[in-house]
Structure 1
Amino acid sequence: MSWLLQLYETYEANQAAIGKVEKKFNGQEYALLPIGHTTQNAHIEVQITEDGNFHSATVLTKQEMSTLIPTTEDSASRSGSANYPYPLHDKLSYVAGDYGQFGRNNKKLEHHTKYIEQLRLWASSPHGINKVKSMYHYLQKGQLIADLVAHDILYVNDDGRLITKWEKRHESLASIRPAIFSIVAGDQEDAFVRFNVYSPTEHLTEVWNDKQMYDSYIGFYSDQLSEQDICYVTGNTQPGTVKHANKIRHAADKAKLISANDSSGFTYRGRFDIANEAASIGYDVSQKAHNALKWLINRQAKVVDERVFLVWGNEQLDLPDMMDDFFSLDPTAVLEEGVAVHTYEELAQEVAKAMSGYRNSLSAMQQRLEHTPINIMVLDSATTGRMAVIYYRNMDKELYLQRLEQWHTTCTWLHRYRKNEQGEFVRFFGAPATKDIAFAAYGPRADDKLVKGLMERMLTCMIDSSQQTIPRDIVQSAVQRASNPVAMERWEWEKTLSIACALVNKQEGMNVALDKENVDRNYLFGRLLAVADVLERNALGGEQRATNAIRYMNAFVRHPARTWSTIQQSLQPYQARLGTKATYWNKIIDEIGAKMPVEQFNNQPLTSLYLLGFYSQRHELYQGGAKAAAAIEEETEI
């Protein structure tokens, strides 16, 4: 129950955000919901005057549809033909008293009776404010569909019944296809209606954004909850519930984290007599915890194929996410072209500087709390109705930041695949994002199931132990793809190469800066391949075709000595083309070859360490090779 308690405390700590509409990057709206409320996509908005008369109605656009509505435990979980009306906004069969005159489904004739009685109780209760009474006075007249037909919102056939599908023969009713047939997925009877109150003298807050309306319904519904029980989450005695929220990841999500349906799924039979004996959770706690989770997912979670990866703190919501690369944590830590790469000491300082912002922002909180916990949660569902917490950790903030620092200073390499605000590629030094690691290991068209599985496995490497190694199969997959550049576009291979180097570096613990003292056979072979690549690239000039070193890279890994002989023979025309300019690269080839013992120059397959030698040597040559080659050419001419 610890995750439920943490979510409950998050809700309590963010009371000021309740009902405040925020927007995601795609324009979708979301908010921290009040208890007893949920979201629903409405199709029609009806304006009612303060004295309870019809004023106007409009068909909503997709951008306007999302609506915060009050709900009961039963209506929040209703399915099929179950007669559980929402307290205010609902489908036509519930809110329209004249549905029997215009509708076609006799099974829905009882919907309005239960709906209007529920609304009457709310309006007549001590919590019933004027807006609720205005809407009740209008709806109890039973003329909603007639008014919507009269104002060209809904359309009927010659028999006076609602049209199920717009056809050419209906063009006499309207010159163009009415908006209602485009916005509702089914027929007109499935339209969801929301209500608002209109005043000619003042601008009233929309019903679905009005805090007084929230408080009015919460007060009314709380009075209906009478049965007290011990809440297993807080330990307090309060009204309990066995019907918990759905729509956790999005509005169409039917999966629940907590469910008890012994009559069909045999969830607790054989162990307990009733559901509350298995897990007794207070209604207030359940509502607040689930609403906090929905809000956090919309606000800051990463979602891959319905799997949710979420990191948050109860009072400090925004925390550095382990799923991100270092560029996301600190976009200012960009390396200028020509500047030497970081040593480990310099990188550690940069990471510590980025983390200090998160530490310092909690200084006031640390005065109140000895320990500031943060939460890491992964959610997923195997079926449409059930969801599980497949990973959860609650840990001290300082320990989390330490693990994050450890990750970004060990699984690190020089990358150039991120863009700045101007759309330019920039160099940054740090750990790659887990999603990029997945694409490096499995390719950009990898199945979402593979991607989310890898992200979960990487999470345990980063959080559960700072010394835990990356699974070998992930490293091998990335190295194999990086060793086959001809199968990818140039940009994709460069990105895969640097990420693979970061993964290998996590195991080997080396610098990007070239280690000229390293005499490991694999490292030396990687250096040889890099020199061959740069030499031929300089000879090709403006030609964009792949060098022989790149073309033979995959074979070179499997049979290095034999393939190097082929590559060196292929270099001869380019060495001749460069003339004295090739002296610089030829000297490096000789120096590297002299360091390798004769018995190690064989066809034993190379390990992943060769990639580090290849990348570091190539980077060294591109950083200072042109100037050195020019200097050697001048000396030769003299």
Structure 2
Amino acid sequence: MNWVSSLCALYDANAERAGKAEMWKGKSLVLFPVGYDTMEAQIEIHIDQEGNYLGARILEKEEAETLVPYPESRTSGIKALPLFDSLAYVAGDLSEAVTFYFPDAKNEKERQRKLVRLKESFPLYLADLKVWCESPFSHPKVKAIYRYVAKQTVAGDLIGSQVLGADENGIVSDKVKIQKASLDKAFVRFRVFMNDELLPEDILGDPNNAYDSAVWLDRTVQSSFIDYYLSTFQTTDLCYLTGEHMPRAKTHPLKIRGKWDTKAKLISANDDANFTYRGRFNTKDKETGYNEALSIGYVTSQKAHNALKWIIRRQGFSRDGVCIVAWENALRDLPDFYASAADILSRVTEEAGNEAEFEFEEESLPEEDEGDVPETNYASAAKFNAALDGYASKLSGISKMVVLALDSATPGRLAMTYYKELEASRYLKNLRLWHDSCAWKHEYIQDKKLKVYEGMVSLREIALAVYGTEQGEDNNSQLKLAKNSDNKAPLLVAVFERLRPCIIDGGAIPRDMVRAAVLKASNPLAYKAKFHYNKVLHIACSMVKRLYWEKLQRKESEGVILGMELDKTNRDRSYLYGRMLAVAERVERATYEKGETRITNAERYMQAFSRSPFRTWNVIWKNLQPYLAKLNPASREYYKNLLSGEITGLFKYKDRVSNEALDGKYLIGYDCQRTDLKRWPKEQSAPVGAILSPEETDEDYDDGEGEEPR
């Protein structure tokens, strides 16, 4: 199937939802009927079924979104919408009741031209509405609206109800705005109160909202318009996307990614001047020339675009230029490939009735406490795999997954940058493989508390860690990406584009991205908040682990499975040097006063250490002596034995003295050793942070201080 067929199938499978407002995650969601779109209304007019004015009110922003018949995209010129429209079209007495200055007009000639357009708008709107009312597809509520607007008293009624107020000079003019909209562009919707005698069960049992005064929610009005509008097409043509004969589409819907997306189109070929070569045409006629190269059916276009809008608003990710949406053909709930393991687990928790949510946009950072390892709400890899097993148990044998990505290079053009269909079971298998092969312990903040989960972070967090910078001061600092003039983050788009095949198709992780992550994690001085550095470090460890896992799958000599726990038998040079760096950092930090956050020598020299470990270690070791001297004898002996005995003893001599740069495994050794040392007080007899008591002196304990462990 192609993407249009997939979207049309999605629309048809959910056709009973079309035009029905549903609540989804606290927001109203509507699958647009064919020929419909939404507009932000500023004014609501109430009339009865005879077309008599009852009242009006100004709408608040949160209730302004209105489902309206919108058969063709309105660009320039005078073109009325079939039912609801702005005051310039709906109010026939607007130019007489209101004084128009047109403050944006450059001169009097332009002002007069705008005034002529204003006067020509209403007759066009009324004529189109009359044709609908006189057609076999008319509707009582539409007729009521026609009878009311035909009286040409809309502006006068609104002035009488004080919806249109006077300015400081007592004149009703276009200088007065309605909810920030200029007066002639204020959008109007109607409520029609029918005189039907109804019982409560009649209203509650009506799935089509036929008894609702809100005309925009009445599905019988929607069906009336669809039947009427399709009857206005004079000819049919072959739809190249479905192979069926149907009325052809001249223009295609806008606002695909959101109501803010007012210009970008997926399909556009109706320009008649200065266009690029599109083949040899028989004619350049505006009405027929656009379909000589390709003909797309109107219903096909509407279904595909409306289904795409609906699924993006329902479960899509749209941020900083990235627009991704994935769905299962029966709309079974499946985890998002771009989400973190914690987010996937949180959705399972919500389904089970727990309303706790995971948050990754930290508002305030936790207190810095190097020894604080979160014990509560620890989400293990086993829990994550159990969650995926739960998703898999709900799938059928024909369950398919569709993944689609959109992007726009210019405001007027939208491109589909990725489309893939695959079996839902394979999708879950590859998702599990991604999180298993990248599994590391990652931290997040919830209710101002530090919590931990195993797995992989979201793609957005990877982008922030690899390409972001820390911005802000103290506890308000955040990791942010650079944005361009269009307020997009190109590096976020690049991360989504490049890592998507790794997750969905099981492809190789980009090595340059892994190198960039290692370089970021090797520079702790770039981060003021320890939380941010730890996040960058752990993400780098995840990516390094994935890289060496892939090498193992390809049976390369360097391939290895790197565990999250400290491996005391690992003789890899980089891994061992990472362990040594972690011990040096721990020794110095153990001598700090409570609350002291001064940078350690190990952190200060970390970048140089990763490039030239043997030479830099001599500097770190020499600077470490005063801190070793402050420890009590038992702690001092433990650390020196750890360095000179356990770790150094695992080195091959040529690896130990080599000044070759370390690879990413040194971060794995560094983080694993740090974690192991944090647990040491609970598992060993001597306290890690013990400092010499007042009665102890260096003479009481001679351990050959100053000698570098070999």
Letter in 2 for 1:527: R
Q: Find 1:518's aligned residue among 570, 580, 591.
A: 570
Q: In the alignment, does 2:665 pair up with 1:609?
A: yes
Q: Find 1:490's aligned residue among 530, 533, 555.
A: 530
Letter in 2 for 1:65: A
* Cα distance change on mapping 1:224 and 1:159 into 2, 3 Å: farther
Unaligned runs of 5+ in 2: 101-114, 199-210, 283-288, 350-357, 359-372, 469-478, 483-488, 550-561, 691-699, 701-710
SS at match of 1:453: helix
Q: Which residue of 1 aligns with 2:74?
A: 78
Contact 1:483 1:554 in 2 (8 A): yes
Q: Which residue of 1 aligns with 2:37?
A: 38
Letter in 1 for 2:221: M
Q: Which residue of 1 aligns with 2:96?
A: 101
Deviation at 1:100, TM superposition (A): 3.4
Cα distance in 2, alignment partners of residues 436 and 565 from structure 1: 36
Q: Which residue of 2 aligns with 1:378?
A: 405
Letter in 1 for 2:677: L
Contact 1:417 1:427 in 2 (8 A): yes
Q: In the alignment, does 2:636 pair up with 1:582?
A: yes
Deviation at 1:107, TM superposition (A): 1.9
Structure-1-length-normalised TM-score? 0.88
Q: Which residue of 1 aligns with 2:107?
A: none
Contact 2:440 2:564 in 1 (8 A): yes
* Cα distance change on mapping 1:313 and 1:280 into 2, 3 Å: farther
Q: Which residue of 2 aligns with 1:143?
A: 153
Residues 466-477 of structure 1: pairs in structure 2 closer than 5 A: 466=506, 468-477=507-516
Deviation at 1:108, TM superposition (A): 2.4
Letter in 1 for 2:511: R
Deviation at 1:135, TM superposition (A): 0.8
Q: Which residue of 2 aligns with 1:178?
A: none
Deviation at 1:568, TM superposition (A): 1.6
* Cα distance change on mapping 1:415 and 1:160 into 2, 3 Å: closer
Unaligned runs of 5+ in 1: 167-180
Q: In the alignment, does 2:451 pair up with 1:426?
A: yes
Q: Which residue of 2 aligns with 1:183?
A: 179
Q: Find 1:152's aligned residue among 155, 162, 172.
A: 162
Residues 155-304 of structure 1: pairs in structure 2 closer than 5 A: 155=165, 162-166=172-176, 181=177, 183-185=179-181, 187-199=182-194, 204-253=212-261, 254-264=263-273, 266=275, 269-273=278-282, 274-304=289-319
Letter in 1 for 2:491: L
Deviation at 1:13, TM superposition (A): 1.0
Letter in 2 for 1:400: Y
Q: Which moved more, 1:483-492 or 1:578-587?
A: 578-587
* Cα distance change on mapping 1:293 and 1:317 into 2, 3 Å: farther
Q: In the alignment, does 2:391 pair up with 1:358?
A: yes
Q: Deviations over 1:313-348 (max 9, x none)?
A: 2212532111011111124799x9569x99xxx94x
Cα distance in 2, alignment partners of residues 358 and 627 from structure 1: 39
Deviation at 1:350, TM superposition (A): 4.5
SS at match of 1:214: helix
* Cα distance change on mapping 1:618 and 1:79 into 2, 3 Å: same
Contact 1:93 1:112 in 2 (8 A): yes
Q: Deviations over 1:221-257 (max 9, x none)?
A: 1211242222222222222213111111122321111
Cα distance in 2, alignment partners of residues 24 and 512 from structure 1: 38
Contact 2:39 2:66 in 1 (8 A): yes
Amino-acid identity (%): 38
Q: Deviations over 1:48-106 (max 9, x none)?
A: 12211111111111111110001222xxx2123x1221111101111111133245422
Q: In the alignment, does 2:675 pair up with 1:619?
A: yes
Q: Which residue of 2 aligns with 1:174?
A: none
Contact 1:584 1:628 in 2 (8 A): no
* Cα distance change on mapping 1:57 and 1:66 into 2, 3 Å: same
Q: In the alignment, does 2:570 pair up with 1:530?
A: no
SS at match of 1:183: coil
Bigger RCO (CA 8 Å, 6+ sep)? 1
Structure-2-length-normalised TM-score? 0.79
* Cα distance change on mapping 1:182 and 1:100 into 2, 3 Å: closer
SS at match of 1:109: helix
Cα distance in 2, alignment partners of residues 11 and 317 from structure 1: 15
Q: Deviations over 1:129-175 (max 9, x none)?
A: 21111111101111111111111111357999752325xxxxxxxxx
Q: Which residue of 2 aligns with 1:557?
A: 610
Letter in 2 for 1:152: Q
* Cα distance change on mapping 1:338 and 1:33 into 2, 3 Å: closer
Deviation at 1:597, TM superposition (A): 2.5
What is the aligned-residue RMSD (CA, Å)?
A: 2.7
Q: Which residue of 1 aligns with 2:708?
A: none
Q: Find 1:122's aligned residue among 125, 132, 137.
A: 132
Cα distance in 2, alignment partners of residues 131 and 267 from structure 1: 46
Cα distance in 2, alignment partners of residues 511 and 184 from structure 1: 58
Letter in 2 for 1:616: C
* Cα distance change on mapping 1:418 and 1:311 into 2, 3 Å: farther
Cα distance in 1, alignment partners of residues 307 and 401 from structure 2: 15
Letter in 2 for 1:507: L
SS at match of 1:57: strand
Q: Which residue of 2 aligns with 1:177?
A: none
Contact 1:532 1:549 in 2 (8 A): yes
Q: Deviations over 1:355-410 (max 9, x none)?
A: 222222223xx3xxxx3221111101112221110111111212211211111111
SS at match of 1:380: strand
Cα distance in 1, alignment partners of residues 481 and 575 from structure 2: 30
Q: Which residue of 2 aligns with 1:313?
A: 328
Cα distance in 2, alignment partners of residues 265 and 386 from structure 1: 16
